[in-house]
């Protein structure tokens, strides 16, 4: 080889190592050729993801409607109401030495309600429980399912409470949409719901107008733009009936629209951040600056994802002095099966759990509540 042939490192490698070098490379002209077989994460049999025992829920499981209702013990299965005042025609002013006026009295009526039972169950096989704390299992699968099913039980009750008026309760709890139904939404043309759908607690509402709550709706079920006049109108109607709403319940979309309406009313430079709370439930933070966003007329606004929606979610005005969840038996958890030494109870080698709640939504004064619907 000529002395001046070695000009580069590659020339030197060719001279001393031949066509291939000590690093396993081979050359063809000026090109570097590779014959690699790398170990990759996708190489079969070399990598297995470990998922861990923590389960991150991707679901919004809030149950604000159920949470804001006061809970009272079930003491009886009915109550009495006064549906008409004593007669004003009997007078009251007496002339000198006149005879006493005729007697009069209010009209009384009975209302009856029975407690309803809501139950949710889940089960696991003995093999699944054994393997859960082996390898890459969930760990204590009973605890995982017990926690998640407890949330599901409360969320399902929340959905019952926020069902549409057209869904007759049946064996489910009564809904706030039915409790707050008004004669303004009970159209004979059936634009909102059919006759009888809004009957509640054994009351035929079409024959007992006192059992209607107050409402603001479109008679043709046409969705209308949300306005502050609608909110003020319903407050006035309820106040005239003698109610005093303690909380407003609506969806997140309506709450956002209300914030947009109120933002234009701001008059002061200083802002005060407020977060409404009611019965331990926190609402969405708002701004108070000459107006109130998180509250309206001093009444806290609590959002819930399950509120019935037209184009916007409806708004419920609730006077919780007269509206509560009457609890016959509070939520309890039961479990039976192989782990508790009684596989015969469920007739298999596994474990079964159950959440159960017994009660009903009660209102002792319909006029204290109301709803706004047909919004966009």
> Which domain covers residue 9, as residue numbers?
3-32
Q: pTM, whole model, 2 decimals?
A: 0.78
Token pair, residue 246, equals 């303690």
Does residue 173 share a domain with residue 279? yes
Query: Is residue 38 a part of any domain in this protein?
Result: no
Query: Is residue 46 a part of any domain in this protein?
Result: no
Cα separation values, 207 from 165, 176, 183, Å = 18, 21, 11
Query: Is residue 268 a part of any domain in this protein?
Result: yes
Token pair, residue 376, equals 């966009």
Does residue 171 share a domain with residue 288? yes
Does residue 198 share a domain with residue 68? yes
Q: Other CB atoms closer than 10 Å to residue 162's CB: what's the count?
A: 24
Does residue 116 share a domain with residue 23? no
CA distance 218 to 214: 13
Burial of 332 (0-12, 13-18, 19+ CB in 10 A): exposed
Does residue 108 share a domain with residue 25? no
Does residue 177 share a domain with residue 291? yes
What is the count of structural domains for the chain?
2
Query: Is residue 54 a part of any domain in this protein?
Result: no
Does residue 114 share a domain with residue 24? no
Interhelix angle 252-263/228-241, rounded to 10 degrees, is 110
Query: Is residue 204 a part of any domain in this protein?
Result: yes
Q: Are 105 and 80 in contact (CB under 8 A)?
A: no
Token pair, residue 47, equals 């990598």
Note down pLDDT in tens along the chain; length 376 residues.
455 567 776 776 677 666 555 455 554 444 555 567 777 667 777 666 666 655 555 666 677 888 889 899 998 888 888 888 888 877 778 888 888 888 888 988 888 889 999 999 988 888 887 787 777 667 777 888 888 888 889 899 999 999 998 888 889 999 999 999 887 655 444 567 777 788 888 888 888 888 899 988 887 778 899 999 999 999 999 999 999 999 999 999 998 888 888 776 654 444 556 666 666 666 666 655 444 457 888 888 888 989 999 999 999 999 999 999 999 988 888 889 888 888 888 888 988 888 999 999 999 999 999 999 999 8
Q: Are 114 and 360 in contact (CB under 8 A)?
A: yes
Query: Is residue 213 a part of any domain in this protein?
Result: yes
Query: Is residue 323 a part of any domain in this protein?
Result: yes
Does residue 350 share a domain with residue 224? yes
């Amino acid at each position: 080889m000529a002395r001046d042939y070695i000009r580069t490192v590659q020339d030197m490698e060719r001279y001393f190592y031949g066509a291939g070098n000590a690093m396993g490379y081979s050359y063809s002209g000026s090109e570097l050729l590779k014959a690699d077989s790398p170990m990759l994460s996708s190489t079969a049999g070399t990598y297995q993801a470990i998922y861990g025992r923590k389960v991150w829920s991707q679901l919004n499981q809030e149950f604000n409607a159920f949470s804001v209702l006061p809970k009272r013990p079930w003491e009886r299965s009915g109550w009495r109401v006064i549906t008409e005042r004593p007669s004003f025609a009997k007078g009251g002013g007496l002339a000198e030495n006149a005879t006493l006026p005729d007697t009069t009295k209010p009209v009384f009526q009975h209302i009856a309600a029975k407690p309803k039972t809501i139950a949710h169950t889940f089960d696991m096989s003995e093999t699944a429980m054994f393997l859960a704390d082996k390898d890459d299992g969930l760990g204590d699968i009973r605890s995982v399912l017990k926690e998640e099913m407890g949330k599901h039980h409360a969320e399902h009750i929340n959905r019952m409470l926020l069902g549409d008026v057209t869904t007759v309760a049946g064996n489910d709890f009564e809904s706030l949409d039915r409790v707050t139904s008004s004669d303004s939404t009970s159209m004979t043309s059936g634009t909102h719901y059919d006759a009888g759908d809004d009957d509640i607690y054994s009351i035929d509402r079409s024959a007992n107008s006192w059992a209607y709550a107050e409402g603001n709706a479109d008679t043709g079920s046409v969705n209308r733009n949300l306005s502050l006049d609608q909110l003020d109108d319903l407050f006035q109607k309820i106040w005239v009936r003698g109610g005093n709403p303690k909380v407003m319940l609506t969806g997140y979309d309506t709450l956002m629209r209300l914030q947009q309406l109120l933002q234009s009313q701001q008059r002061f430079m200083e802002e005060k951040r407020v977060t409404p709370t009611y019965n331990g439930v926190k609402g969405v933070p708002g701004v108070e600056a000459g107006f109130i966003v998180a509250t309206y007329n001093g009444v806290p606004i609590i959002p819930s994802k399950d509120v019935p929606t037209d184009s916007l979610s409806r708004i419920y005005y609730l006077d919780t002095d007269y509206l509560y969840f009457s609890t016959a038996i509070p939520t309890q958890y039961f479990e039976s099966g192989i782990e508790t030494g009684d596989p015969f109870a469920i007739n298999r080698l596994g474990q079964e759990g159950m959440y159960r709640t017994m009660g009903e939504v009660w209102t002792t004064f319909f006029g204290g509540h109301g709803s706004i619907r047909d919004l966009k």
